[in-house]
């Protein structure tokens, strides 16, 4: 035991100065940035890193005390990430997300996106037809709290007035936008999270969302207000519905991986699609924030139907071009 302690002491005494030097350089680089290091110091770090690895190998081979081995392992790990790790700024990573990562993830889910959009559209058409034939069906698709007086027994003038709400009441729009962002984000997150239940709950949520849309449109159409109602909904609805559809697509991809993992294990399959789904959902939150601004501000302040349609068309073109237009190949990192 005494001999082992003596070996450890001599080993540390001969090499500790280099370890401490490497530790100080890493501390400075992590706290102040790589640019604060001198060129000679940058060249010194790889040399010290290799020496630390050699010391770690010897320490393990001759069974030195565990505390020294743990210290060298931690130091070598820090140096490894400095020498070999990709060092990019936060702004570079954010730019890479919006330029490549998010659009590529969305394009990778194009099949699921088509399915999610089809489910939503079919539910909207069915709900529209049922409410037109029998207005009592309206309450099967729209909760009374959400209807806020926009119900089959409402007058045409009242319904027309709801399409112009906000023109003379601009105060509190910030609160409305915040509420809408929170509410829509919850729907999108549920659509994604429910995918684990073999796609069933995600599909149900998409059906409910489409049914609500169809029922509202049927209500206004019966009062001759279909065109203004579509403009009122689509000024923000293009972005919002697309975001919820993408969230549903991400959820469907997870549910499909759970049900049919293929050659992978079920856990590996879920992890594979989950990474892509996480990228999509990060972007969906951005889309819903933008939709909340349109719904909380633009829809309330812009009253002309043509302007609402123009904004809806512009957002559709922008999102479609952003996600699906061909772009240059991504440069290797």
The number of beta carbons lying within 10 Å of the beta carbon of residue 294 is 24
Q: What are phi and psi of 14, to 5 degrees?
A: -75, -25
What average pLDDT does the structure give for the chain? 86
C-alpha dist (Å) from residue 331 to 81, 96, 97, 227, 280:
22, 11, 14, 46, 21
60-69, 198-207, 302-311: which has the minimum mean pLDDT?
60-69
What pLDDT digit, counting tens, does each position of 40-68 carry? 888 899 999 999 998 888 888 876 678 88
| Nearest one of 155, 167, 166 to 224, comparing CA atoms | 155
Question: What distance in Å separates the CA atoms of residue 52 and residue 19, rounded to the nearest whole number?
Answer: 7
Cβ(186)–Cβ(252) below 8 Å: no
Reported pTM: 0.74
C-alpha dist (Å) from residue 325 to 115, 277, 286, 318, 322:
20, 20, 20, 10, 6
What pLDDT digit, counting tens, does each position of 219-230 carry? 999 999 999 999
What pLDDT digit, counting tens, does each position of 264-305 carry? 888 899 988 999 999 999 999 999 999 988 988 888 888 899
The pLDDT of residue 166 is 54
The number of beta carbons lying within 10 Å of the beta carbon of residue 149 is 11
CA torsion sign for 280, 282, 286, 289 is: positive
């Amino acid at each position: 035991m005494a001999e082992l302690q003596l070996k450890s002491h001599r080993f540390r005494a001969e090499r500790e100065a280099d370890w401490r030097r490497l530790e100080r350089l890493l501390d400075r680089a992590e706290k102040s940035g790589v640019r604060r290091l001198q060129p000679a110091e940058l060249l010194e770090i790889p040399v010290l890193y290799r020496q630390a690895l050699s010391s770690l190998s010897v320490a393990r081979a001759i069974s030195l005390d565990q505390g020294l081995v743990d210290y060298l392992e931690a130091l070598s790990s820090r140096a490894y990430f400095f020498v070999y790790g990709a060092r990019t700024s936060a702004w570079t990573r954010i730019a890479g997300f919006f330029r490549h990562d998010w659009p590529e993830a969305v394009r990778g889910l194009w099949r699921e996106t088509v399915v999610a959009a089809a489910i939503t559209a079919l539910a909207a058409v069915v709900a529209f037809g049922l409410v037109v034939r029998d207005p009592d069906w309206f309450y099967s698709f729209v909760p009374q709290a959400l209807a806020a007086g926009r119900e089959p027994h409402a007058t045409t003038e009242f319904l027309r007035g709801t399409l112009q709400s906000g023109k003379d009441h601009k105060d509190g729009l910030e609160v409305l936008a915040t509420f809408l962002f929170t509410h829509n984000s919850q729907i999108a997150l549920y659509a994604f999270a429910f995918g684990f239940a073999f796609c069933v709950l995600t599909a149900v949520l998409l059906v409910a969302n489409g049914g609500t849309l169809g029922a509202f449109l049927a209500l206004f159409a019966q009062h001759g207000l279909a065109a203004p109602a579509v403009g009122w909904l689509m000024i923000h609805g293009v972005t919002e519905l697309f975001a919820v559809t993408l969230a549903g697509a991400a959820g469907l991809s997870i549910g499909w991986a759970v049900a049919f993992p293929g050659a992978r294990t079920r856990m590996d399959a879920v992890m594979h699609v989950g990474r892509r789904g996480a990228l999509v959902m990060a972007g969906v939150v951005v889309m819903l924030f933008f939709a909340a601004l349109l719904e909380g501000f633009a829809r309330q302040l812009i009253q002309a139907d043509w302007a609402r349609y123009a904004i809806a068309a512009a957002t559709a073109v922008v999102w479609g071009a952003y996600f699906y237009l061909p772009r240059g190949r991504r440069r290797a990192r």
